[in-house]
Amino acid sequence: MSLQPFISLYRYALEPIAPFTWFGTNVCSLDLVAVFRLCVALRQMRENLYAKHQRTAGENRLVPAEERSFVRDACTVLTVVFGGEAIIGPLLGILPSFMLSSISPGLYIAAHAIVEYIPVLPSVSLSTELPLSFVDGFTRAMLLCSLIPPPVITHTSPVVASSPWALLLSSFIITNGGFFITNMFSFVEPTPLTLTTPAELQPYGWTATDLWSAPLITGFYALLTHAQPFWAEFHSVISTVLGGAGGKVEPMDPESARALCALILVGIFSTRTAKNFGLLWKKSVAEKIKIQ
């Protein structure tokens, strides 16, 4: 399968767009898609949790729901986006992006305000989430392949720049740190903020797709592009084991590697969506009935 259509799609989606270019800011259509996708998903999550709270409040005598505030919800969005970066920044000795520019935080706050004023959002369903798996795959690949690796592999410390562990750990924390913080402090819940066990630390929370897919895809991208000496050597070893001629293996160009990673993520997220909505289970049951 040729990756050229997907490479071209990325190039088009990464072109700066008006009216942002009028003010000298490089915001592309992929940025806008990712921003609004997250803001819509968080609002849907809040509404689902509120509905669940209302259904069970009388039975379990839960804590009354707190009146939502724009500031709390905006802080939730910013924490999800920049929480992981805020954690890994001091560990790597680099400034997080939100400390260097106000464009990205301002864009998320503006998008959050727009989404909050939309009267009704479609409910989360298979028909809406399955097509969005394609969007999620491409936006997540941009984060894992183009935004996270450069600060690590160009680090001023040669030890950090050549460390595959630093690269994978950075990918894991930046991608998941924000949600970990918001879950730990119940930011999305309708009740007042309280310290609770994040979903990631609950039984089988470690199996969540977002947790393992982040370092997996970043590592795969580094392997294909030889982002660090370790990955170039590892690629040669894999090639030899699989029957290659041995010797030096040529790296894949970054655009092709990113497009391939995006397609893999589309497959991962589509499978997760199908599983969450029972599509895989229903199919397996139907096959069993047919056999019987």
Give the 3-state secondary structure of the chain: CCCHHHHHHHHHHCCECCCHHHHCCCCEHHHHHHHHHHHHHHHHHHHHHHHHHHHHHHHHCCCCCCCCCHHHHHHHHHHHHHHHHHHHHHHHCCCCHHHHCCHHHHHHHHHHHHHHCCCCCCCCCHHHHHHHHHHHHHHHHHHHHHHCHHHHHCCCCHHHHCCHHHHHHHHHHHHHHHHHHHHHCCCCCCCCCCCCCCHHHCCCHHHCHHHHHHHHHHHHHHHHHCCCHHHHHHHHHHHHHCCCCCCCCCCCCHHHHHHHHHHHHHHHHHHHHHHHCCHHHHHHHHHHHHHC
Tell me, yes or no, whether 31 lies in a domain.
yes
**pLDDT for position 291:** 42
**pLDDT for position 277:** 85
Residue 286 has pLDDT above 70, yes or no: no
Tell me, yes or no, whether 290 lies in a domain.
no
Look up the domain containing 94 and give its range: 4-278
Ranking 12-26, 172-186, 219-233 by mean pLDDT, the lowest is 12-26
**Separation CA 30–CA 50 (nearest Å):** 30
Tell me, yes or no, whether 108 lies in a domain.
yes
Tell me, yes or no, whether 66 lies in a domain.
yes
Residue 185 has pLDDT above 70, yes or no: yes
Tell me, yes or no, whether 285 lies in a domain.
no
Q: What is the arithmetic mean of pLDDT over 256-285?
A: 84
Ranking 58-67, 196-205, 260-269 by mean pLDDT, the lowest is 58-67
Residue 133 has pLDDT above 60, yes or no: yes
Q: For all residues of the chain together, what is the average pLDDT?
A: 89
What is the distance between the terminal CA atoms of the chain, rounded to a whole angstrom? Answer: 38
Residue 66 has pLDDT above 90, yes or no: no
Residue 284 has pLDDT above 50, yes or no: no
Tell me, yes or no, whether 286 lies in a domain.
no
pTM of the model: 0.90
Tell me, yes or no, whether 148 lies in a domain.
yes
**Separation CA 15–CA 151 (nearest Å):** 22
Residue 62 has pLDDT above 90, yes or no: no
Q: What is the arithmetic mean of pLDDT over 76-90?
A: 96
**pLDDT for position 59:** 57
Tell me, yes or no, whether 85 lies in a domain.
yes
* Structure tokens that stand for 9 in this block: 């799609």
Could you give the number of structural domains in the chain? 1
Q: What is the arithmetic mean of pLDDT over 118-136?
A: 91
pLDDT tens, position by position, 28-52: 999 999 999 999 999 999 999 998 8
